[in-house]
Chains A and B, each alone.
Chain A
């Protein structure tokens, strides 16, 4: 009887020791926006390669969920494609958290059409009229005689918010627009539909769709940073309080021109420095 007890004690002891050890191994949890996800993933991979004793776990779930995780204290870093809202700050403060924003990259949103579309350039006012449902045929802006199928992002996505602010000037996208849940879905639909117009982050532009110039300006890294291209937004990582320890090292890595920022560009986004 004594012997079995001793063995049980030993096994439990080892188990508890391992658990504590695992919990103490340095780890960073990142949650939030699916727009920032590819950036965070690329940077985290490189960071873990350089610092093998640190494990970073990343998940998506959307900006709202990321910020909620900061408020709940279930993540170290929250990715967000929008700035934190007043209500969220209030909730955070009530729970004794203090979210700190770091702008880590810029996203540039480009209108895209089907490859066979004759239009190359579009003006901001034409874009607005199309998304308000006032221009309904490509002929009205110099294209073929086809109906325009307007494709937009979900009203709760960060990309939509930028579009609403920069293109719609706070007016609403008309209800007939097809709302899609991701950049990928918009590329998919626009590449298959001759009538369609959509908008996506510059990182998602590939050779299956045709990006339009806006007011004669090509959407690119250069034009976003110079401010010539209007439809762009900063992307954020939020931490609870000013970051310390491993989180702070990681944030520094993200902001470093030759480490994180180089990878931001590789992931198809616009880095902070040019």
Chain B
């Protein structure tokens, strides 16, 4: 065709660079858009009023744009769901990697990973129709749509992530470390908790953080089962209104380029910062305590 080998090479390089640059550029533009649409609200309210204001009444006259109860709601749900999903996820990972037989592992691991593909709206529906009435009857509380229910449903969603990634990390611990420990007379339990877990801690931490960042950004589930009351909760059986639920529920009716619209984008910025920090942390931990051969202990 008249192209030299070198020209072809250069062309290929260029095409791949273009594709990579396009995805980065699109992400960058979305972030830019988020900030451009969110910043104008701070002409109306100060940053402090926005973050620490106690009242979220975006449509009243005069409006109040305080997202403190929403932030607390998001944090409360994320922490509670972490308390449920971390032990469950990590324990099942240990079981699968260290204790279960190879055949059982072959069967169970894909099933756990399949759980991750359950659509969130299905989990939300389950929480709303099945779990909420049960919670309400069992604990004799006013409503079953509360922090606890939402955390339970979110834990469902993050357990597969946490379990699957942790299992990989544990499984990849060099076998001679374990053998050395067993040879010194340690029991299997000792070996798991004193050798295997410390050696794979970076992988497990990354798994946990990624699982939690999925929980904090999850929208449908919290919209359906968290209750939706924009107040600071007093117990885990109180309803809350997390950040993503507010955006999802209100964006459709917010007047275009009105204060409410800007405020919702500003909530988006806050949410973006949250997940950004989570991902940075995951990146930092996985880089800092990299599993490099036998030298990790």
A residues bordering B, Cβ < 8 Å?
34, 60-65, 67-68, 71, 85, 87-88, 91, 147, 149, 154-158, 160-161, 164, 170, 172, 175-181, 185, 188-189, 192-193, 195-196
B137-171 Cβ-contact flags toward A at 8 Å (1 or 0): 00000111100000000000000000000000000
How many chain B residues touch A (Cβ–Cβ < 8 Å)?
Answer: 39
12 A–B contact pairs at CB < 8 A?
Answer: A62-B253, A64-B253, A156-B260, A164-B60, A170-B61, A175-B56, A178-B228, A178-B229, A180-B228, A185-B128, A188-B129, A193-B143
B residues bordering A, Cβ < 8 Å?
54-61, 69, 128-129, 132-133, 136, 142-145, 223-224, 227-231, 239, 241, 248-258, 260
Contacts of A156 in B (CB 8 A): 58-59, 249-250, 252-254, 260
- Tell me if A91 and B257 are in contact (CB < 8 A): yes
Question: In the complex, which residue of chain A has the Cβ closest to the Cβ of B223?
Answer: A181
Question: In the complex, which residue of chain B has the Cβ closest to the Cβ of A196?
Answer: B143
Given contacts A64-B255, A88-B256, A172-B57, contact A177 B249 (CB under 8 A): no
* Max count, chain A CB within 10 A of own CB: residue among B129, B224, B230, B252: B252
Given contacts A149-B142, A156-B58, A192-B132, contact A176 B255 (CB under 8 A): no
- Counting from the closest, the 10 A-B pairs by CB-CB distance are A62-B252, A156-B253, A175-B231, A179-B228, A68-B256, A156-B250, A181-B249, A62-B253, A64-B253, A154-B249
* Max count, chain B CB within 10 A of own CB: residue among A87, A179, A195, A196: A179
Give the docked Cα–Cα distance between A188 and B129 (Å): 8
Give the docked Cα–Cα distance between A64 and B253 (Å): 4
Contacts of B143 in A (CB 8 A): 149, 178, 189, 193, 195-196
* Max count, chain A CB within 10 A of own CB: residue among B58, B129, B143, B224: B143
Contacts of B257 in A (CB 8 A): 87, 91
Question: In the complex, which residue of chain B has the Cβ closest to the Cβ of A133?
Answer: B231
Contact of A178 among B57, B145, B252 (CB under 8 A): B145
Give the docked Cα–Cα distance between A160 and B228 (Å): 14
Question: In the complex, which residue of chain A has the Cβ closest to the Cβ of B252?
Answer: A62
Given contacts A64-B254, A156-B58, A181-B249, contact A193 B136 (CB under 8 A): yes
